[in-house]
């Protein structure tokens, strides 16, 4: 499940929760401009697919932002 | 000292001393005074009440011929005019529980005070709410004394016309009726007391019971992403532009599914969001934000996944009752299983 309100998703028992951007734009962010918006949305979807390939034992959060920050640093340097 | 209350006891064929299962078809009959288990009831009542009559009704008669039973019970109650009708206790017996509940409902409709007792999981409980007062008991008549103690205490109050307090205080099953009253202490103080008790590991009673959500076993991970068929479901309220299906904006009782065969991306000229729970305009410009079709198609082209399932499912997920959500989820899941979908992305707003 991709949701911006990830804590709610976890407490109600969704097992694979992917953190979405915002309620009004879950898979991406129009404020980033078209290229970065697309990259962010794609990153969220890929995180979701990775989550579905990962074994979990209960509600687990998969946060694209943790990985996105690392990508940003890599691009900057 | 107050006069003892006029009590009528309602029992089945067994507790009324007529017989066992073979007498379950016994029609409604009335005897003077207390009989069978009624004697224990009279003891529990002491001076506070007198069992003036006992109505006996066979369990099968009460359940199978309930219209006739109803008429007979009504007639009896009308002539007996008890100050309180005490039915049972039925413990775990389902037919007896339903029979007691019915008797109490009839009494209540006639403006007579009534009370019964049974195990909280007795089927008779579900039919009773919210009209009937039920004192929770154990499963078997081995606990007759405790059951009668609880029932007589409440019966006396009801018989005297006193209003009962909250279910938890008075010892009856919650009827789902909420009355406002003053707790005499500010909310923050009550909350702090609860927190202190919780931190100390002491017992505390919540004022707002939370319903535990069901735990779902996690699905096994997808083994082969490149060979995967991915389905997409959204609760973001996606609809075709203009909402021709007339989907509601909240409190949905159904979902709609749409074919995305051959579709590469969702366009704001063909789709929009109709959802009362969030600001829809951003999604209206780019519906892929709540149903990421374009990303999955790009991944399909790149060979990362094999296919996107032809049907996408959409509803507005705001104010959807849990039971309805469960039904919809089960139906969608069955569709996906039949179509041999490998994994499903649910996007929620």
DSSP for B153-185, written as a single string:
HHHHHHHTTPPP--HHHHTS---S-------SS
Q: Answer whether B174's CB lies under 8 Å from B168's CB.
A: yes
Low-confidence ranges of chain B (pLDDT < 50): none
CB contact under 8 A, A1 and B348: yes
Confidence of residue A72 (pLDDT cuts 50, 70, 90): low
Q: What is the pLDDT of residue B296?
A: 98
* Closest Cα in chain A to B218: A15
Candidates B53, B93, B90; CA nearest to B73 is B53
Q: B266-288: buried (b, 16+ CB within 10 Å) or exposed (e) per residue?
A: beeeebbbbbebbebebbeebbb
- B 198-217: CB under 8 A from A: 213-216
Q: Tens of pLDDT along B57-113?
A: 999 999 888 899 999 999 999 999 999 999 999 999 988 999 999 999 999 999 999
> Domain B5-170 class?
alpha beta
Q: Within an 8 Å CB–CB cutoff, is residue B290 touching chain A?
A: yes
Token pair listed for A74: 């890599």
d(CA B201, CA A47): 40
Contact in structure between B177 and B130 (CB atoms under 8 Å): yes
Residue-wise pLDDT for A16-49, tens only, equals: 999 999 999 999 999 999 999 999 999 999 999 9
Q: Cα torsion for B28, B85, B129, B15, to the nearest 10°?
A: -50
Q: Minimal CA–CA distance to B305: which of B219, B223, B230, B233? A: B230
Residues of B with Cβ-Cβ distance to A30 under 8 angstroms: 282, 285-286
- List alpha helices for B160-292, DSSP H: 167-170, 187-199, 281-285
Residue A24, pLDDT score:
94
Contact A42 B298 (CB under 8 A): yes
CA distance B288 to B281: 13
d(CA B116, CA B134) in angstroms, rounded, equals: 5
**Mean of all residue pLDDT scores within chain A:** 89
Q: Domain coordinates of chain B in residue numbers?
A: 5-170, 225-347
Report pLDDT for B288: 98
pLDDT at B323: 77
What pLDDT is attached to residue A71? Answer: 55
Decide: residue B181, CB within 10 A, 0-12 exposed, 13-18 middle, 19+ buried. exposed
Task: Find the distance separating the first CA and the last CA of chain B, reported in whole Å.
Answer: 65
Relative to beta strand B271-273, strand B238-240 is: antiparallel
Mean pLDDT to the nearest integer, A5-9? 90
Q: Does B326 touch chain A (CB under 8 A)?
A: no
Extents of the domains making up chain A: 2-76
Q: Does A30 touch chain B (CB under 8 A)?
A: yes
Compute the distance between CA of residue B77 and CA of residue B67 in angstroms, rounded to an integer.
15
Q: Does B292 touch chain A (CB under 8 A)?
A: yes
d(C-alpha B27, C-alpha B98), whole Å: 16
Q: Is the pLDDT of residue A4 over 60?
A: yes
Determine contact: B346 vs chain A, CB below 8 A. Answer: yes
What pTM value is reported for the model? 0.58
List of chain B residues whose C-beta atoms are within 8 Å of the C-beta of residue A58: 215, 218
Find chain A residues with C-beta within 8 A of B317's C-beta. Answer: none
d(CA A44, CA A35): 14
* C-beta separation of B276 from B249 below 8 A: yes
Probe site for chain B from A2, A22, A41 (most B CB atoms < 10 A):
A2
At residue A77, the pLDDT reads: 46
């Amino acid at each position: 499940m991709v949701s911006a309100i990830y804590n709610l998703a976890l407490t109600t028992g969704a097992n694979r929760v992917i953190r979405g951007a915002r309620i009004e734009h879950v898979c991406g962010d129009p404020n980033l401009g078209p290229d970065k918006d697309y990259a962010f949305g794609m990153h969220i979807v890929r995180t979701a697919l990775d989550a579905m390939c990962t074994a979990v034992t209960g509600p687990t959060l998969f946060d694209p932002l943790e990985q996105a920050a690392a990508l940003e640093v890599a691009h900057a340097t | 000292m107050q006069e003892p209350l006029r009590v009528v006891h309602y029992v089945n064929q067994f507790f009324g001393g007529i017989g066992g299962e073979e007498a379950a078809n016994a029609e409604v009959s009335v005897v003077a005074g207390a009989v069978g288990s009624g004697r224990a009831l009279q003891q529990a009542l002491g001076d506070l009440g007198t069992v003036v009559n006992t109505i006996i009704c066979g369990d099968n008669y009460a359940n199978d011929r309930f219209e006739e039973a109803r008429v007979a019970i009504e007639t009896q109650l009308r002539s007996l005019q008890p100050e309180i009708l005490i039915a049972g206790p039925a413990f775990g017996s389902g037919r007896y529980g339903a029979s007691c509940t019915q008797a109490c409902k009839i009494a209540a409709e006639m403006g007579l005070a009534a009370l019964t007792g049974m195990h909280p999981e007795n089927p008779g409980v579900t039919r009773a709410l919210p009209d009937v007062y039920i004192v929770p008991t154990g499963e078997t008549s081995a606990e007759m004394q405790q059951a009668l103690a609880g029932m007589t205490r409440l019966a006396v109050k009801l018989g005297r016309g006193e209003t009962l307090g909250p279910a938890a205080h008075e010892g009856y099953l919650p009827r789902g009726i909420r009355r406002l009253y003053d707790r005499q202490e500010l909310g923050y103080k009550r909350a702090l007391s609860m927190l202190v008790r919780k931190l100390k590991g002491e017992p505390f009673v919540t004022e707002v019971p939370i319903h535990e959500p069901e735990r779902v076993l996690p699905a096994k991970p997808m083994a082969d992403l490149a060979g995967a068929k991915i389905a997409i479901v959204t609760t973001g309220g996606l609809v075709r532009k203009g909402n021709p299906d007339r989907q509601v904006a909240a409190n949905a009782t159904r979902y709609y599914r749409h074919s995305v065969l051959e579709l590469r991306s969702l366009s704001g000229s063909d789709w929009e969001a109709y959802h009362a729970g969030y600001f829809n305009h951003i999604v209206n410009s780019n519906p892929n934000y709540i149903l990421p079709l374009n990303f999955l198609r790009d991944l399909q082209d790149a060979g990362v996944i094999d296919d996107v399932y032809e049907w996408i499912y959409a509803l507005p997920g705001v104010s959807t009752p849990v039971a309805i959500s469960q039904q919809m989820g089960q139906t969608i899941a069955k569709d996906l299983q039949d179509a041999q979908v490998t994994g499903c992305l649910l996007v929620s707003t």
